[in-house]
Structure 1
């Protein structure tokens, strides 16, 4: 079962995830940022149900679901940001859960067979859900079985380049809470503007490379200004090294190309687990002699963030804070 760490961190998974959770009052129909129609259909009963468009067609969901099972961490983050708690979660690994979510995450039963395992229908059934939310990119998902338990919404995977934003906003629409994220959205815009203004001098001096350790031996991932994290840092005024600019969104790169892709980076921003250590195979990448000889590494300009692959506004704000912290150290 892929997690957003694999889906957003592989060249093949450059597409992103749209998300929605439906556990509020009915809302009017809306078009999401990716153009996928979400929200209520005119013929649905506002008193009891809502009809939403999904990757499997239209699905009728409760107007006020009380027991939502989440099969991916994008809609999980959206529910948390909206002040909602699912009754069950897919387990993508505790080390990848951002600190603001961790206590809630730990308290919620997991419905997968171990970390990153398959969804177990029996575990889902035991939670008596009235709504199940997943994504259409999840292989071997027992959709038909899950649909017999509760309305099951699979979200489209390939139409959004900014999943953390699209998923959060579409979640709010489907919840009938279109203004619920207004304060978070404003905080994000204000924080990015603040960094651009207050760190203008240091922003003009440094070019950044963005990377993730990856999951495949001998390979790592390089991100560009059109990636999710690249867009967030660009909003704060970041300039990028030639290697990051060249890939635009993201690319899988071999260890042999470390020097050619990273040598002109003045600083490196990378993905960590929630204990601050390089995530995935990051330690192996960092141990490479070619990596150790990079100018940015020799200068000590390595800065990590658990929010490198943001799932919603809270993590986008965390990424901005981590970037600002790095700028203050330069």
Structure 2
């Protein structure tokens, strides 16, 4: 990831693999930057002013007092996890969405971090979180069956307003940085993103003008796959880079579950397809079954070998968005 219901997923946990935002509000409306300092103090700064030990931030649950400089942050969703990685920070614990969905660049950092869910994609386990002695917990408001009261008893628990976001990879990253007290720390990555999209639009203008894209994920539902639209996070990223969409993705706002029987009807006019992979480069989820369908094999994009995959198809932050642009450029070079 009010939003339309996401297609069902084998991951019962609250991960971006099965959530997609479709609200109308932008990041500027969320107000997650610190909005005041607390009254608890540890002494004086070098200038003689008292140094606050707490800050007040807004969250989906309302104003919340948190440590001024949290040291043991547990990310119970992979959006704040990705944001912390972008910030060069290591969470004390993370939700386990599955190793195959973690980009290769993050695997070495991700593997030793304690996991706080009940196995891959499972529910958040309060006992596992408690064992890490967190001083701050960060999640999103779309998390189902979240033991919020129990988590709040352990540490301040900030839920980011995912359900109001049109670009979760950007909004959740910005808001995580604000909650952690470093709202400007991602400015360099933001500038890189702006420059990168402009560079792709200019350098590949000719191929962008003649190519129409559809966006898809193999999904987790037998007999169905997931189509993504121009208004989805990946659609927005490729659109920023100048991508033009084929009929199916152009007409769809965010995301839709589609049966195998409709492969030809939905994808026949696409010149190229951009799809979701695991970190070994293979089609993710039930992608191999979709790609094996005779109707899929006969698509113009398939016959032309214009199928291009990326593990960054479901981006969690700025680094993911930039890497998705890198994969998009590889595709553009071959067209």
After TM superposition, the structure 1 stretch with the greater mean CA deviation from structure 2, 147-156 or 111-120, is 147-156
User: Which position in structure 1 is the counterpart of 2:19?
Assistant: 7
Deviations 1:6-59 (A, max 9, x none): 112xxxx6459x9xxxxxxxxxxxxx6251221223352461011122222222
Deviations 1:207-250 (A, max 9, x none): 11110111111111111211111111111111110111111322
User: Which position in structure 2 is the counterpart of 1:28?
Assistant: none
Q: Does residue 155 of structure 2 align to residue 161 of structure 1?
A: no
CA–CA distance in 2 between the matches of 1:156 and 1:168? 12
Q: Using the TM superposition, give the Cα deviation of residue 178 of structure 1 relative to its aligned residue in structure 2, in angstroms.
A: 2.6
Aligned 8 A contact 1:192 1:236 in 2: yes
Change (3 A) 1:15 1:6: farther
Aligned 8 A contact 1:34 1:160 in 2: no
In structure 1, stretches of 5+ residues that fail to align are 19-31
Q: Does residue 114 of structure 2 align to residue 109 of structure 1?
A: yes
Alignment partner of 1:35 out of 26, 29, 36: 29
User: Which position in structure 1 is the counterpart of 2:60?
Assistant: 55
Q: Using the TM superposition, give the Cα deviation of residue 143 of structure 1 relative to its aligned residue in structure 2, in angstroms.
A: 1.3
Aligned 8 A contact 1:206 1:266 in 2: yes
Per the alignment, in what secondary structure is the counterpart of residue 258 of structure 2? strand
TM-score (norm 1): 0.91
User: Which position in structure 1 is the counterpart of 2:6?
Assistant: none
Q: Does residue 77 of structure 2 align to residue 76 of structure 1?
A: no
Count matched residues.
312
Per the alignment, in what secondary structure is the counterpart of residue 60 of structure 1? strand
Aligned 8 A contact 1:14 1:250 in 2: no
User: Which position in structure 2 is the counterpart of 1:209?
Assistant: 214
Q: Does residue 38 of structure 2 align to residue 44 of structure 1?
A: yes
Deviations 1:167-186 (A, max 9, x none): 11222223332321111111
User: Which position in structure 2 is the counterpart of 1:226?
Assistant: 231
Per the alignment, in what secondary structure is the counterpart of residue 38 of structure 1? coil
Aligned 8 A contact 1:163 1:311 in 2: yes
Q: Using the TM superposition, give the Cα deviation of residue 85 of structure 1 relative to its aligned residue in structure 2, in angstroms.
A: 1.0
User: Which position in structure 2 is the counterpart of 1:297?
Assistant: 302
Structure 1 ranges of 4+ moved more than 6 A:
none
Aligned 8 A contact 1:78 1:312 in 2: yes
Q: Does residue 293 of structure 2 align to residue 288 of structure 1?
A: yes
CA–CA distance in 1 between the matches of 2:310 and 2:276? 5
CA–CA distance in 2 between the matches of 1:161 and 1:283? 29
User: Which position in structure 2 is the counterpart of 1:27?
Assistant: none
CA–CA distance in 1 between the matches of 2:310 and 2:73? 29
Aligned 8 A contact 1:135 1:155 in 2: yes
Per the alignment, in what secondary structure is the counterpart of residue 210 of structure 1? strand
Deviations 1:112-142 (A, max 9, x none): 1110011111111111111111122212211
Change (3 A) 1:34 1:179: closer
CA–CA distance in 2 between the matches of 1:81 and 1:3? 17
Q: Using the TM superposition, give the Cα deviation of residue 201 of structure 1 relative to its aligned residue in structure 2, in angstroms.
A: 1.3
CA–CA distance in 2 between the matches of 1:77 and 1:4? 11
Aligned 8 A contact 2:94 2:115 in 1: yes
Change (3 A) 1:192 1:211: same
In structure 2, stretches of 5+ residues that fail to align are 1-12, 40-50
CA–CA distance in 2 between the matches of 1:55 and 1:263? 42
CA–CA distance in 1 between the matches of 2:253 and 2:19? 17
CA–CA distance in 1 between the matches of 2:179 and 2:37? 15
CA–CA distance in 2 between the matches of 1:179 and 1:39? 10
In angstroms, what is the RMSD of aligned CA positions? 1.6
